Amino acid sequence: MGARASHAAAVPGAERIRRETGFSQACLLRLHHRFQALDRNNKGYLSRVDLQQIGALAVNPLGDRIIDSFFPDGNHQLDFPGFVRVLAHFRPVDEEDPGVRDPKQPEPLNSRMNKLRFAFQLYDLDRDGKISRNEMLQVLRLMVGVQVTEEQLESIADRTVQEADEDGDGAVSFLEFTKSLEKMNIEQKMSIRILK
Amino acid sequence: MALKMLLPASPASCLLLLVALAGAEAASDSNESANSTAQDAVSARFAASSREPAERISVFELDYDYVQVPYEVTLWILLASLAKIGFHLYRRLPRLMPESCLLILVGALVGSVIFGTDHKSPPVMDSSIYFLYLLPPIVLESGYFMPTRPFFENLGSILWWAGLGALINAFGIGLSLYLVCQVQAFGLGDLHLLQNLLFGSLISAVDPVAVLAVFEEARVNEQLYMMIFGEALLNDGISVVLYNILIAFTKMHKFEDIEPVDILAGCARFIVVGCGGVFFGIIFGFISAFITRFTQNISAIEPLIVFMFSYLSYLAAETLYLSGILAITACAVTMKKYVEENVSQTSYTTIKYFMKMLSSVSETLIFIFMGVSTIGKNHEWNWAFICFTLVFCQIWRAISVFALFYVSNQFRTFPFSLKDQCIIFYSGVRGAGSFSLAFLLPLSLFPRKKLFVTATLVVIYFTVFIQGITIGPLVRYLDVRKTNKKESINEELHIRLMDHLKAGMEDVCGQWSHYQVRDKFKKFDHKYLRKILIRKNLPKSSIVSLYKKLEMKQAIEMAETGILSSTAFSVLQQAQRTQATKRLSPEDVESMRDILTQNLYQVRQRTLSYNKYNLKPQSSEKQAKEILIRRQNTLRESLRKGRSLPWGTQVGAKNIRYLSFPYSKPQSGRRNAGAAEASDDDSSGLGLPFITFSARPQLGSLRESRLAQEVIPMKSLPQATMTVPFRDGRDPGPGRRTVARPRPLFFTLEEEFESRAESDEEASALRVRWTAERGHSREHGQSHSPLLRRK
């Protein structure tokens, strides 16, 4: 496992990935190491099972959803660019002058909006762009201990949707979601230090 | 505050103490001296028959001297334990001040009682008792509970900081005090340089772990935690080494004429002592790990082996004048990994608890003795010395922290921020170590020993109380929490979701460290060390019987509480959906908020939090079990519905709220958690009864099969629960799953049963673990799917 060549040439498409995600060379290398470490059969891609073997994810209440977020659009294979693309959402935001960004270029993956979008999709399983009350309830159920009764959960879910819902459609759209979290320091909450 | 709780406890113990003292007075009156030793008492008792010719036989006698020493020691320990109980009954108290405060207070109380009744306290502490009996358990405990992975990742920084920090502190304080002593006005002229240096070395022995509990919940980052730990671990050892060397210097006949040769010899000796101790410790660690390989038939002596070998490493090192503390630390760190896998579950628990118990007894005794010394007549107060000591302690610690970290930050990938450095600076709380060293100064060489003891006591009291109590608020202040207390429920939920998400992503990323060294060590470890040191045949039956026990019990409980029927819930749900959303009153919102704060799952902490005085694994384990059960059920439901993973709306899965598992520590879970280290996670300590992980790379072509089979125990287990204990095999009820139904997820199912032919007697131990589980799931497979009766 550790015997594979570990320099930049081994990472396929490194330049393109770097441009897309903004990771540094060293970081990309480490991510490649990790990808290879997770890929137990040297398949060249990761399957869900590989990710499920990360012990800590099994006891994460959102473990399944996190794993699924790596496999968008119903894929079952995760290649390295896809892996990095997801993790790029968690790159700490550069503290450079944000106004300098070229508006024609696509938003960097670790911008606040994209981070929020990533979190939004954890709720919105059917990808209709809205978090219905039911979806909110499901997430709540995942995150709360067994002592809470069903009625309590329902009322909490109701309240959550109610607080955020502005146009009264009983669901939380992405904009409403963003608005309800405008005071939060998303850039810090959804950044992993080692992904600099 | 703590004393308030002591009041209910102390009448009882005070009564006991008073009875004891009364007895002591009575007994001592009848003897010549009040200081009758136990020896006299013993011989007096046994020789009584010949001495007293024509006495009546008395119906009731009192003989206190016979039991005095153990009696009082036991009373002290009990008193401290009662105080600790009281301390923890107040929830907020452990957050406010470290437990050392409490122990010191108890010590002072005992001291005042003894002083007040003019009782001669038993000679608990002298040099040999301290160094031979009281100190090793404390060091062993801190070495054993050290989380090894972060320790070795930061080893360079820790050695740099702990080693050089202790040296800088010791010499800095010593030299500064010497300069102060030169000033004639303070009347300290007779303290020469060596004595000051010695004082500096003993006062620089810090005990920062004691304050960890205070800011535990402030989410200090792992690196900081590790630095504090590492410092605590190595600091004692280095201080004692330095102390001994300086004492040796002091004992030299002509110590006024110390030549540079001697100084060089001193430095060389320092290095030899330190490294030699570590070397001894490692050797003993390996020997004891090797021996535990063979103890499966008499698991009752496993704790004994662990303790005796650790102690032996200490003694062997001390024989050669090497550092016993570093030896025992290295022994604990080395042997922990292998011993944990070898010993049985109960031995493992016994070792942990016994270690905690021993170390807390030792520490209690030292603190009590400190309290006794405080309230006594043998003090010498010198304003200048004491004040300057305090000042210099702080100054030199600040200098060493900021200077050393400035340098080491240049080489670190993740430098320590200024905030971290402030926390490290402020956590320099002195503890029992420095008091003991001061108390044990030989009076012949140090005519002004009382001054040193007084100064040490003042520093300890100051740092423990003032720094200990204020470090909590300081850390919270530095943490710069969001001041917006009233978060809406929305925000709270989303914040928690994001925390979980972030923790999950961090786990996906894994740990990054100095790859090469660690990889090399891991390879070496797997190839050689584990083969030698880990048992060959881990018993399979324990895992099997464990599953059986758990599943039966769970099935029974569920049946009794009527949770099994899943249809009831869906109806209820439909009915409630049609309810119009109503405006909720603030109290409702408050209650919702409370529900959430209490019941939301905690985010997994990467470093297991270390509490010096307590072992508290329960809550995270319970939470982990609940999450695992839930996942199990969703997967089962999804299979029932014919989907591979729960997408879209699930009608059935969400309703089933299983009770958490009966709290039996699954042995297999611990082992499997140990096996998960290839994924670079330190998940030891979690009981994971049925999810097994991480095939080793050496498994070759069978990897795929094992991968698939890992998921099987998870799935096929619930099928057994619904009806009968799985041994019966025939499972006609709704629980019957055709395990062989092809799923995109488990496409290798068919092959894995074919590969059963592999023999169970594999050479490498890690495969055996797989065998055990495979054997287990084989029974599952065979009992459930007639299709797969290949054997």
**pLDDT (tens digit, 9 = 90+) per residue, B664-694?**
334 433 444 333 333 333 333 333 333 333 3
State the DSSP code for B644. S
- Identify which has the larger pLDDT, B681 or B491: B491
- Quick one: how many helices (H) and strands (E) in chain A? 11, 2
Residues B126-140 pLDDT 10s: 777 888 888 899 888
pLDDT, mean of residues A180-194? 80
Instruction: Please list, in sequence order, all residues whose beta carbon lies within 8 angstroms of the beta carbon of residue B547, skipping any fewer than 6 positions away.
Output: B689, B690, B713, B717, B726, B776
Give pLDDT, residue B173: 92
Answer whether residue B458 shows pLDDT above 80.
Answer: yes
Under a CB-based contact definition with an 8 Å cutoff, are residues B202 and B239 in contact? Answer: yes
Instruction: Please list, in sequence order, all residues whose beta carbon lies within 8 angstroms of the beta carbon of residue A122, skipping any fewer than 6 positions away.
Output: A62, A65, A66, A69, A139, B497, B501
B505, B511, B571, B681, best to mutate vs chain A, most A CBs in 10 Å: B505
Give pLDDT, residue B771: 36
> Which residue in B has a C-alpha nearest to residue A117's C-alpha?
B498
User: B155-159, B238-242, B280-284, B723-727: which range is least confident on average?
Assistant: B723-727
Would an 8 Å CB–CB cutoff place A74 in contact with chain B? no
Answer whether residue B227 shows pLDDT above 50.
Answer: yes
H-state helical runs in B513-664 = 515-524, 530-533, 540-561, 567-577, 586-599, 618-641
pLDDT, mean of residues B553-561? 66
Answer whether residue B496 shows pLDDT above 60.
Answer: yes
Copy the structure tokens of residue B730.
């025939």
Which chain B residues are closer than 8 Å to A159 by Cβ? Answer: 489, 584, 588-589, 592
- Identify which has the larger pLDDT, B710 or B235: B235
Residue B527's Cα: distance from chain center in Å?
29
Q: How far is A106 from chain B (nearest CA, A)?
A: 24
Dist. CA B204–CA A79, nearest whole Å = 54
Give pLDDT, residue B279: 92
| Chain B, window 412-431: residues with a beta carbon less than 8 angstroms from a chain A beta carbon | 414
B149, B224, B489, B493, best to mutate vs chain A, most A CBs in 10 Å: B493
User: A2-11, A116-125, B408-417, B508-517: which range is least confident on average?
Assistant: A2-11
Q: Do A59 and B686 touch (CB under 8 A)?
A: yes
Upper half-sphere CA count for residue B604 (Cβ side, 13 Å): 30
pLDDT, mean of residues B756-773? 35
B221, B486, B488, B508, best to mutate vs chain A, most A CBs in 10 Å: B508
Reported as a pLDDT band with limits 50, 70 and 90, residue B735 is very low
pLDDT, mean of residues B182-204? 83
Under a CB-based contact definition with an 8 Å cutoff, are residues B612 and B429 in contact? Answer: no
Of B512, B588, B686, the CB nearest to A30: B512
Residues B572-583 pLDDT 10s: 444 444 444 455
Return the closest-CA partner of residue A23 out of A79, A78, A88: A88
Give pLDDT, residue B694: 34
Give pLDDT, residue B743: 38
Sign of CA dihedral A19, A23, A25, A28: negative
Highest mean pLDDT range out of B310-319, B534-543, B676-685, B738-747? B310-319
H-state helical runs in A110-149 = 112-123, 133-143
Reported as a pLDDT band with limits 50, 70 and 90, residue B397 is very high
Give pLDDT, residue B685: 34
Give pLDDT, residue B486: 59
Tell me the three state secondary structure of residue B312.
Answer: helix
Give pLDDT, residue B515: 57
Size of interface A-B (CB pairs under 8 A): 223
| Chain A, window 147-166: residues with a beta carbon less than 8 angstroms from a chain B beta carbon | 147-148, 150-152, 154-156, 158-164
Give pLDDT, residue B46: 53
By percentage, how much of chain A surpasses pLDDT 70?
Answer: 89
Answer whether residue B650 shows pLDDT above 50.
Answer: no
- Identify which has the larger pLDDT, A109 or B94: A109
- Identify which has the larger pLDDT, B473 or B12: B473
Under a CB-based contact definition with an 8 Å cutoff, are residues B210 and B98 in contact? Answer: yes
Residues B580-624 pLDDT 10s: 445 556 677 777 777 777 777 777 665 556 666 666 655 666 677
- Residue B208's alpha-carbon distances to B100, B214, B225, B229, B429, in angstroms, are 11, 11, 10, 8, 5
Which chain A residues are closer than 8 Å to B678 by Cβ? Answer: 37
Would an 8 Å CB–CB cutoff place A138 in contact with chain B? yes
Instruction: Please list, in sequence order, all residues whose beta carbon lies within 8 angstroms of the beta carbon of residue A62, skipping any fewer than 6 positions away.
Output: A122, A139, A142, A143, B497, B500, B501, B504
Give pLDDT, residue B315: 92
Give pLDDT, residue B446: 81
Q: Do B495 and A184 touch (CB under 8 A)?
A: yes
Give pLDDT, residue B108: 86
- Identify which has the larger pLDDT, B436 or B54: B436
Of B496, B576, B695, the CB nearest to A154: B576
Give pLDDT, residue A123: 87
Give pLDDT, residue B790: 40
B599, B694, B696, best to mutate vs chain A, most A CBs in 10 Å: B599
Copy the structure tokens of residue B462.
């100051």
Which chain B residues are closer than 8 Å to A147 by Cβ? Answer: 599
Give pLDDT, residue B769: 40
pLDDT, mean of residues A25-36? 85
Reported as a pLDDT band with limits 50, 70 and 90, residue A126 is confident
Reported as a pLDDT band with limits 50, 70 and 90, residue B559 is low
Dist. CA B107–CA B84, nearest whole Å = 13
State the DSSP code for A189. H
Return the closest-CA partner of residue B175 out of B200, B143, B202: B200
Under a CB-based contact definition with an 8 Å cutoff, are residues B306 and B352 in contact? Answer: no
Would an 8 Å CB–CB cutoff place B509 in contact with chain A? yes
Reported as a pLDDT band with limits 50, 70 and 90, residue B367 is confident
Would an 8 Å CB–CB cutoff place A4 in contact with chain B? no
Give pLDDT, residue B220: 63
Q: Name the pTM for this structure.
A: 0.64
Which chain B residues are closer than 8 Å to A168 by Cβ? Answer: none
> Which residue in A has a C-alpha nearest to residue B595's C-alpha?
A148
- Identify which has the larger pLDDT, A91 or B544: A91
Tell me the three state secondary structure of residue A78.
Answer: strand
> Which residue in B has a C-alpha nearest to residue A115's C-alpha?
B498
Give pLDDT, residue B308: 92
pLDDT, mean of residues B203-214? 77
Task: State the CB neighbour count (10 A cutoff) for residue B279.
Answer: 15
Would an 8 Å CB–CB cutoff place B527 in contact with chain A? no
Would an 8 Å CB–CB cutoff place A56 in contact with chain B? yes
- CB burial class (10 A; 0-12, 13-18, 19+) of residue A16? exposed
pLDDT, mean of residues B782-787? 40
Dist. CA B327–CA B314, nearest whole Å = 6
- Residue B509's alpha-carbon distances to A21, A35, A43, A80, B360, in angstroms, are 16, 9, 19, 13, 38
Of A66, A140, A186, the CB nearest to B493: A140
- Identify which has the larger pLDDT, B727 or B154: B154
Residue B132's Cα: distance from chain center in Å?
22
Answer whether residue A150 shows pLDDT above 70.
Answer: yes
Under a CB-based contact definition with an 8 Å cutoff, are residues B88 and B102 in contact? Answer: no
Give pLDDT, residue A96: 58
Copy the structure tokens of residue B506.
């961090």
Q: Do A87 and B505 touch (CB under 8 A)?
A: yes
Q: Do B501 and A126 touch (CB under 8 A)?
A: no
Task: State the CB neighbour count (10 A cutoff) for residue B37.
Answer: 15
Q: Do B595 and A152 touch (CB under 8 A)?
A: yes
Would an 8 Å CB–CB cutoff place A82 in contact with chain B? no
Answer whether residue B653 shows pLDDT above 60.
Answer: no
Which chain B residues are closer than 8 Å to A76 by Cβ? Answer: 744
Dist. CA B621–CA A59, nearest whole Å = 9
Give pLDDT, residue A17: 84
- What ipTM was assigned to the predicted interfaces of this complex? 0.91
Answer whether residue B313 shows pLDDT above 90.
Answer: yes
Would an 8 Å CB–CB cutoff place B500 in contact with chain A? yes
Give pLDDT, residue B497: 86
Would an 8 Å CB–CB cutoff place A54 in contact with chain B? yes
Across chain B, what does the average pLDDT equal? 68
Answer whether residue B631 shows pLDDT above 90.
Answer: no
Q: How far is B72 from chain A (nearest CA, A)?
A: 47
Of A41, A126, A193, the CB nearest to B414: A193
